[in-house]
């Protein structure tokens, strides 16, 4: 998902600053330090990265020079909305898109006397994600109250975890797509904690009031806090992508950014290269797409670097900025006056969350193969990085691919079918790979049928689309449509002789030098064989006949 999204960036979608920055980042890739976490990889850089290079722009040269002197320090807070059936602390359904204020009860409405009761699934998901992010788990964690007044927060406090999160001290490994310079990265995970979501506020454009929908109030979230290990917009976007991927692999969230199921707040500061202490930290919110993360950060890096360069570093203040998608820039939302005091204290209404070793072990045992492990396995199978990233990107695609090769299909061929024709079909039909009727078993059959010459590649493609849409078996379809490739030279020769004799004029032209006409003959013969003639054999015999001196 991420990769494809990033791949669809058009250079002109970037602001001037963004473009030049992106270019700079790529060219400087190996000079940037990655907190000692960059691991050496054996990726071949054989694929040439598609387009992306923006035309050299003189105006951006100066900025490029400025940017070269600074290093960005980026950390991300990711909120993952969990796909539980019920809310975190009450039994109301956790449904996106319900009619406003219908999925409510005394607990999530904060009625007097109502008490929270923790959903066991939230703990399970917290442990799953914690393990997937290589964290240490707290066998005894607790909930705390984070207090502030807001109309979308019914109780006047959010139940969250403050000083003892369920998981902490982990990391995530990912691969930067080749078109962005490639390379393997490891980013630290500070912590993962459980908390509840707030409701939704709608601001009417006309009226002098706001509206509150509390359906979302109390929906469970896992907040993932990264170490400040990222150095560019691309890294940050790839990190966010990997969070989405992991959440989807684990089945803990649908990770949908548009619905707000995955939300990223970015903390960013820059400092002159070589300086040890961090610069002033700015928070960016309202990042609703991975591309927005990347562009907002690159914009912000440029903005801050320019201020530094112009001696206006004091104008970089601790604040929250909003990404404005339309204007492609960040704007001040509010300045922070000192640290907000949320008056955290332990939530007395909830017992501590106790994890037993057996429980953790059972969850560990049930974890699926995670994206990083998948990528390394695919790489070891000999697939190129582009294929690896494509296949491992979507868990359903990866599972499909694994099933196909599990049925014995050749790895590279299976990858090609999935990445080209099937991917195109999915895109056109707006389907997911889970929707298609072609089973992995049959794709493996199809690949085998082509490989062993039972059918031609061309016929293979034709029946692929029928199998995708209608299902059925490859063998059945070959039989029903009589599609078995003609590989008998005698039979092909008969057709060649017939076609050649029926086209004396073309034969004459061919023999007088218009050798391109071979294609014409081949087409006619293929047509006669209803596409079943083995193309190699056909051409071999055709050439013999055309060039024969009779």
Q: Which residues here bind another protein, judged by CB under 8 A?
A: 84-86, 91-93, 99-102, 104-106, 109-121, 123, 140, 142, 145, 147-151, 154-157, 201-204, 207-214, 333-334, 339-341, 343-346, 348-354
Sign of the CA dihedral running 48, 54, 55, 56:
negative
Place of tokens 């689309």: 465
The distance of closest approach from Cβ of residue 212 to another protein in the complex, given in angstroms and rounded to an integer, is: 4
Q: Which is nearer to another protein, 159 or 496 (CB)?
A: 159
468: tokens are 């995708």
Q: What 3-state class would DSSP assign to 355? A: coil
Give CA angle at 183 (179, 184), nearest 5°: 135
The distance of closest approach from Cβ of residue 271 to another protein in the complex, given in angstroms and rounded to an integer, is: 27
Q: Which is nearer to another protein, 7 or 200 (CB)?
A: 200
Q: Which is nearer to another protein, 251 or 536 (CB)?
A: 251
- Strand runs labelled E in 251-352: 262-272, 282-287, 319-324, 329-335, 345-346
Longest dimension (CA), the chain: 103
Q: Which is nearer to another protein, 212 or 543 (CB)?
A: 212
DSSP 28-66: TGGGS--TT-PBP------SPPPS-PPPP-HHHHHHHHH
The distance of closest approach from Cβ of residue 111 to another protein in the complex, given in angstroms and rounded to an integer, is: 7
The distance of closest approach from Cβ of residue 369 to another protein in the complex, given in angstroms and rounded to an integer, is: 25
Q: For residues 57 and 252, is the Cβ–Cβ distance under 8 A?
A: no
What gap in Å lies between CA 211 and CA 549, rounded to an integer? 89
Q: Which is nearer to another protein, 200 or 461 (CB)?
A: 200
The distance of closest approach from Cβ of residue 197 to another protein in the complex, given in angstroms and rounded to an integer, is: 14
First to last CA, the chain: 61
What gap in Å lies between CA 44 and CA 41, rounded to an integer? 9
Q: Which is nearer to another protein, 349 or 466 (CB)?
A: 349
The distance of closest approach from Cβ of residue 146 to another protein in the complex, given in angstroms and rounded to an integer, is: 10
Q: Which is nearer to another protein, 202 or 381 (CB)?
A: 202
Q: Which is nearer to another protein, 24 or 263 (CB)?
A: 263
Spatial neighbors of 414 by CB under 8 A, at least 6 apart, are 401, 404, 405, 443, 444, 447
The distance of closest approach from Cβ of residue 205 to another protein in the complex, given in angstroms and rounded to an integer, is: 11
Q: Give Cα separations from 127 to 90, 114, 251, 356, 489 (angstroms).
A: 20, 27, 13, 11, 64
Sign of the CA dihedral running 371, 81, 291, 265:
negative
The distance of closest approach from Cβ of residue 117 to another protein in the complex, given in angstroms and rounded to an integer, is: 5
């Amino acid at each position: 998902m991420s990769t494809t999204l990033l791949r669809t960036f058009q250079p002109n979608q970037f602001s001037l600053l963004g473009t030049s920055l992106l270019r700079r980042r790529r060219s400087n890739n190996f000079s940037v330090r990655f907190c000692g976490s960059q691991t050496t990889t054996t990726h071949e850089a054989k694929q040439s990265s598609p387009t992306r290079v923006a035309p050299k722009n003189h105006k951006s040269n100066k900025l490029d020079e400025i940017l070269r002197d600074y290093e960005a320090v980026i950390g991300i807070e990711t909120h993952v909305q969990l796909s539980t059936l019920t809310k975190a602390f009450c039994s109301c359904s956790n449904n996106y898109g319900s009619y406003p204020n219908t999925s409510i009860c005394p607990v999530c409405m904060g009625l007097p006397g109502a008490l929270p009761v923790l959903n066991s699934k939230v703990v399970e998901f917290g442990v799953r994600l914690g393990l997937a992010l290589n964290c240490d788990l707290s066998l005894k964690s607790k909930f705390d109250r984070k207090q502030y007044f807001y109309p979308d927060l019914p109780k006047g406090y959010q139940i969250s975890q403050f000083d003892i999160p369920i998981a902490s001290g982990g990391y995530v490994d990912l691969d930067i797509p080749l078109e962005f310079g490639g390379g393997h990265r490891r980013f630290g995970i500070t912590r993962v904690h459980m908390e509840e979501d707030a409701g939704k506020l709608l601001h009417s454009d006309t009226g002098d009031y706001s509206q509150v929908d509390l359906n979302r109030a109390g929906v469970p979230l896992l907040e993932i806090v990264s170490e400040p290990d990222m150095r560019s917009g691309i890294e940050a976007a790839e990190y966010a992508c990997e969070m989405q991927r992991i959440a989807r692999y684990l089945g803990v969230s649908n990770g949908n950014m548009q619905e707000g199921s995955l939300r990223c707040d970015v903390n960013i500061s820059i400092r002159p290269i070589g300086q040890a202490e961090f610069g002033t930290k700015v928070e960016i919110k309202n990042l609703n797409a991975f591309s927005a993360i990347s562009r907002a950060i690159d914009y912000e890096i440029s903005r801050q670097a320019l201020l530094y360069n112009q001696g206006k570093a004091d104008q970089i203040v601790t604040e929250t900025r909003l990404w404005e998608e339309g204007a492609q820039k960040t704007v001040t939302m509010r300045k922070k006056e000192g640290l907000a005091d949320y008056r955290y204290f332990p939530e007395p209404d909830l017992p501590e969350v106790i994890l037993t070793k057996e429980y953790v072990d059972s969850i560990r045992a049930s974890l699926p193969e995670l994206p990083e492990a998948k990528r390394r396995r695919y790489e070891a199978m000999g697939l190129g990085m582009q294929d690896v990233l494509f296949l491992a990107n979507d868990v359903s695609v990866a599972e499909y691919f694994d099933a196909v090769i599990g049925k014995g299909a050749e790895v590279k061929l299976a990858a090609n079918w999935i990445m080209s024709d099937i991917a195109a079909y999915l895109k056109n039909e707006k389907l997911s790979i889970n929707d298609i009727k072609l089973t992995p078993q049959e794709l493996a059959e199809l690949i085998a049928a082509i490989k062993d010459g039972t059918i031609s590649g061309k016929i293979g493609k034709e029946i692929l689309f029928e199998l995708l849409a209608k299902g059925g078996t490859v063998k059945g379809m070959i039989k029903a449509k009589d599609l078995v490739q003609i590989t008998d030279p005698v039979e092909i020769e008969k057709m060649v002789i017939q076609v050649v004799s029926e086209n004396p004029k073309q034969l004459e032209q061919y023999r007088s030098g218009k050798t391109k006409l071979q294609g014409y003959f081949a087409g006619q013969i293929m047509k006669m064989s209803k596409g079943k003639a083995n193309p190699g054999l056909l051409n071999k015999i055709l050439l013999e006949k055309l060039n024969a001196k009779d």
